[in-house]
Amino acid sequence: MVTAVVRKGLLLKADPITAAFRDEVKGSLAACSRPPKLVGILATTAAPSKNYAEFTRKQCEEMGVDFVLKKVGAAASPNLGEGEGVEEAIIEANEDSSIHGIMVYFPIFGVQQDHYLQQVVSPLKDVEGLHFKFHYNLYHNIRFIEPKSLLASLPPASQPPTVTESEEPPAGTVKSIIPCTPLAIVKCLEFVGVYNKILPYGDRAYGKTITVINRSEVVGRPLAALLANDGARVISVDIDSIQEYTKRPRISPNDSSESATAQRYHPRHIVHPSNLTLQECLAISDVVVSAVPSPTYKVKTEWLKDGCICLNVAADKNFEKDVRDKASIYIPAVGKVTIFMLLRNLLRLQQYQEL
C-alpha cells in the first residue's frame, strides 16, 4: 500500500524577517547623539487603532526610541467627537522641533478627509510616507531627492529616464521615503527570494509575475508600482477591474523599430487594462499579495499556481485555511515588519531634518 505524503508549504511569521532590520535600527540608534522622538496621534476609540498604538509604544520602548502617544478627540474624552482636534495636534507636532516623526492612527473620518489630513503632516516628519510627495516620487520611480525638495510644493519637473544602477544616493541627494506598508511587503518578498540579487538594482523582480489584490492609494497601487518599477509583471486586481503594471510593454521581440526599442526598457512602470480573469491571473502568478479589508473575502486555494508564495496584508485572513496545500510559502501578516520600516524612516527623517 502506497501512502501519499502530504507536504505543506512553509508558514513564515514576521520575526525572522524583522531580525536584520532590528539589528540595523539598533545600530543606527546607537550611533545617534540623541534618540529620535516619535509622536503617535490617536483620535478615535477604534480598537485596532488603540492596539496598534500600544504595539508602536512597545516596539519603540524596546528599541530605545522616544515615543509619545498624544490622545485627542474621542480618544481623550467621551465628551469629544471622533477625530476632534486631530488637525490641530498634527500642526502642533509639525511645529515642535523636538519631534522628529509623526504617525496618525487612521482611519478617522473616511478616505477623503483622511487623505486631507495626510497632507497636513509635514513631509519632513512623515514616517509613514503617506504624503502626496512620496507617492508621486514612488509612481515616478524617483528614488533619490534633494532634501530641500521636501519643502517645495511642486513635484519635480518630469525627468529624463535615469537608470538606477546604484542603491546609494548620488552626492547631494537622499533616499525618498517609501510608504511603510508597501515597503514592508517588498522587504518580505526580498527575504523569501522573490527579488534576485544577481540582477541589477531596480530590476531585481524581473521575471516574476505578482498579483496584488487591492488598489487603494495606501497599499495596493503604490505596491504595484514599486514591484513593477523593480521589473516584475504585476497584475493589479480590484472590485471593478484588472490592470497590468509593467516596465516592459509587450512588444514583439522582432520589432526593431526605434519606438519599440525605446519602450523595451522603461525606468518607470506603465499601466494597461487586462483581459484576464482573476482565476487566469492566479494560475500564472509566482506571488499573490492580498489586502482586502473584508472577513468574508477569500482567495481560492484551488486557483493558485502550485508552489507560489502568498502574503496576507489584510487584518482579516484573505487566504483559505488550506492555502499551504498549494503555496510553498505563506506569510500571514506583515505588521511587525511595517513598524521597522517606520523606524527606519524615522531615523532617515531625523537626519534629513539636520541637513
Nearer residue to its own copies within complex by CB, 40 or 123:
123
Burial of 168: CB neighbours in 10 Å, binned 0-12, 13-18, 19+: exposed
Residue 37 Cβ, how far from its own copies at the closest point, in Å?
Answer: 19
122 vs 318 by CB, closer to its own copies: 122
Distance of closest approach, residue 144 Cβ to its own copies, in angstroms: 18
Q: Do the beta carbons of residue 246 and residue 235 sit within 8 Å? A: no
Nearer to its own copies, 40 or 83 (CB): 83
The smaller minimum CB distance to its own copies, of residues 71 and 221, is found at 221
User: If we measure between CA atoms, which residue out of 102, 111, 164, 98 comes closest to residue 137?
Assistant: 164
Closest to its own copies by CB, 1 vs 157, is 157
Contact residues for 30 (Cβ-Cβ < 8 A; gap 6+): none
Min separation Cβ 5 and its own copies, Å? 47
Q: Binding residues for its own copies, per CB under 8 A?
A: 81, 84, 87-88, 91-92, 94-95, 111-113, 115-116, 119-120, 122-124, 132-133, 135-136, 139, 150-155, 157-158, 216-217, 221, 243, 271-273
Residue 323 grid coordinates = 492555502
Q: How far apart are CA 196 and CA 261, in angstroms?
A: 25
Question: Measured from the CB of residue 355, what is the shortest distance to its own copies in angstroms?
Answer: 16
- Copy the grid coordinates of residue 2: 502506497
Annotation says 180 is catalytic: yes
Catalytic residue among 180, 281, 308, 310: 180
Determine how β-strand 144-145 pairs with β-strand 174-175.
antiparallel
From the list 142, 233, 220, 158, the residue with the least C-alpha distance to 194 is: 233
Asked if 36 and 101 count as a contact pair (C-beta separation under 8 A), the reply is yes
We find the least distance from the C-beta atom of residue 217 to its own copies, in angstroms, to be 4
* DSSP sequence for 71-138: E-GGGT-TTS-TTTTHHHHHHHHHH-TT--EEEE-S-SS-HHHHHHHHHHS-GGGBTT--SHHHHHHH
Catalytic (active-site) positions: 180
